Amino acid sequence: MTPLAAHAAIRFGLGNRPEAQLPADPRAWLTGQISPLPEAPGPSLAEAFAAQRQRQRDPTSQAVSDLFRTEALAWSTRMITTTAPFAERWANFWTNHLTTSRRAGQATVMLGHYQRLAIRAHAFGRFEDMLLAAYRHPAMLFYLDQSGSIGPSSPAGQRARRGLNENLARECMELHTVTPAAGYSQEDVTTLARLLTGWSVGRGAPANEPEGFLFRARAHEPGDKILLGRTFPEGEEGGAEALRFLAGHPATHHALALKLARHFVADAPPAPAVARIEAALRDSGGDLAAAARAVVAAPEARAPLRKLRSGQDYAIAVLRALGLGDEGAPMLLGTLARLNQPLWTAPAPIGWSDEASEWAAPEQLMRRLDWASEIAGRTAAAGVIEPEPLGEVLLGPLARAETMAAARRAGSVREGLLLLLASPEAQRR
């Protein structure tokens, strides 16, 4: 493995696999992955709603947790075995950007569907299409309380004396699009909340409603609305237009470029890298494939690895290096929970942190060490792989000579494997 190939596999991908034959041209290997991903199969929204209803009828029903587990195992298998690891990392980045979480119970059963169809399916499309798909997905509508937000002057609002919930509107402006750098006001947040009134979730066949997004005109706040100086019309299209406007705002392009550079280059990303990704977004009208090409081309991304792996990154990279298949999927899920990053369970709408200060915490590193120790024991007992080939797959030319020497002369295979898995360079990407 050449240093550039190692960078491609570790910084941009999810870590190398033993059988992977990295091509001589790592850049071409990465850009070759920038095209729409083949659809990942899984349960439909109708099945998710049916599971939800079953549990409402019978509180002891396992339907919801079974369906969540099916989705989570499928995702885990994809992460461990994929041959397009840059494309999957890219999709995970956007899943985290537009976070939905098990912390909102109603969304749980739909989180896999959300990841596959609202995010992953749009990973190399236009950002506005991804944003709209996310905001029309019941997982997001439930997670950020949009489904029950009602225009106070709408017929439904007048009758039920209920009103706005500004949670989605606030996180839209603060986290998903323009960010506070755009200098918006509380009034703008409230206006966006009014624009989005009526964006709700159908209750399915029993209520003669769709299983998914439903625009409830009776809950929509009437009248034109002015957001950041722009007038948007009443109705479903007004909200969609406002979201497209925010998605294409220069402040959004800057915020997305900064976040991408922080993910792929360094916690404090160099300004030229941010500027080039920003320009790619601006010049392409928010095309995420163009942004991905700019990220891959960034010369700053050839500097030594400075990013610290998140718990998820670390666990996936280790299981890939061991060459596991779908039998590793349950272990990946358990490990994510142990490393304080359970799948699709971010504690807040801002998602998981992408900075070393969050992950270089004493207890976090101790848990990684515990897990590495356990894995080393299991792997040695099962005779899966010897230290030297593991070092070549996991770290390649990025392994320090001292690490490889210690792993080679370790008193047992188990200890040799542990020294590689728990080495400081294995924490970098």
Partner 1 sequence: MSPNLRRRSFLLGLGGALALGGSRMALAAGPPGEKRLVVVLLRGAMDGLSAVPAYGDPAFAALRGPLALPEPGQEGGVLDLGGRFGMHPSLARLHALYAANQALVLHAIAGPWRSRSHFEAQDLLESGATQRLPDGWLNRALSAMPPEPPGAARRGLAAGLDVPLLLRGPVRVGSFAARARNRPDTETLALLARWHAADPQLGPAFAEGLRARGFSAEALAGQAPPPRGVNGFLVLAESVGRLLADPRGPRVAAMELDGWDTHAAQAQRLGNTLRVLDEGLDALRAGLGPAWSQTAVLVMTEFGRTARINGTQGTDHGTAGAAFVLGGAVRGGRVLTDWPGLGPGRLFENRDLAATMDLRRVAKGLLADHLGLGAGALARAFPESGDAPPLPDLVDRSA
DSSP lists the bridge partners of residue 201 as 213
Stretch that binds partner 1, among 82-90, 249-257, 388-396, 421-429 (CB under 8 A): 421-429
- Shortest spacing between CB 21 and partner 1, in angstroms: 31
CA separation for the pair 38, 423 (Å, rounded): 35
Out of 65, 81, 167, 284, the only residue in the binding site for partner 1 (CB under 8 A) is 167
Size of the site for partner 1 (CB under 8 A): 49
Nearer to partner 1, 163 or 222 (CB): 163
Q: Which residues inside 317-356 make contact with partner 1, applying CB under 8 A? A: 340, 347-348, 350, 356
Contact, 120 vs 50, CB < 8 A? no
CA separation for the pair 114, 141 (Å, rounded): 11
Stretch that binds partner 1, among 107-115, 247-255, 361-369, 386-394 (CB under 8 A): 361-369
Give SS3 for 426.
Answer: helix
- Shortest spacing between CB 106 and partner 1, in angstroms: 10
- Shortest spacing between CB 423 and partner 1, in angstroms: 6
Phi, psi of 356 (to 5 degrees): -60, -30
- Shortest spacing between CB 73 and partner 1, in angstroms: 21
Out of 181, 366, 381, 405, the only residue in the binding site for partner 1 (CB under 8 A) is 366
Nearer to partner 1, 205 or 350 (CB): 350
x/- letters, 175..214, toward partner 1 (CB under 8 A):
-----x-----x----------------------------
CA separation for the pair 48, 66 (Å, rounded): 10
Tokens 């009034």 found at: 187
CA 143 to chain centre: 15
Q: Is 252 near partner 1 (CB under 8 A)?
A: no
Q: Which of 23, 19, 20 is nearest to 2 (CA)?
A: 23
Stretch that binds partner 1, among 25-33, 149-157, 206-214, 317-325 (CB under 8 A): 149-157
CA separation for the pair 314, 309 (Å, rounded): 6
What percent of the chain is helix, strand and coil (3-state, nearest 5)?
Answer: 60, 5, 35
Q: Which of 16, 160, 8, 173 is nearest to 82 (CA)?
A: 16
Amino acid identity at 133: A
Out of 25, 58, 237, 402, the only residue in the binding site for partner 1 (CB under 8 A) is 402
Phi, psi of 403 (to 5 degrees): -65, -50
Q: Which residues inside 291-320 make contact with partner 1, applying CB under 8 A? A: 308
Q: Where are the beta strands (DSSP E) in 228-386?
A: 230-232
* Residues contacting 383, CB < 8 A, separation 6+: none
* Residues contacting 79, CB < 8 A, separation 6+: 14, 88, 316, 320, 332
Nearer to partner 1, 20 or 227 (CB): 227
Stretch that binds partner 1, among 16-24, 116-124, 315-323, 373-381 (CB under 8 A): 373-381
Stretch that binds partner 1, among 33-41, 228-236, 249-257, 360-368 (CB under 8 A): 360-368
- The contact set with partner 1 (CB under 8 A) reads 145, 148-150, 152, 157, 162-167, 170, 174, 180, 186, 308, 340, 347-348, 350, 356-358, 360-367, 369-371, 373-374, 377, 400, 402-403, 406, 415, 418-419, 422-424, 427
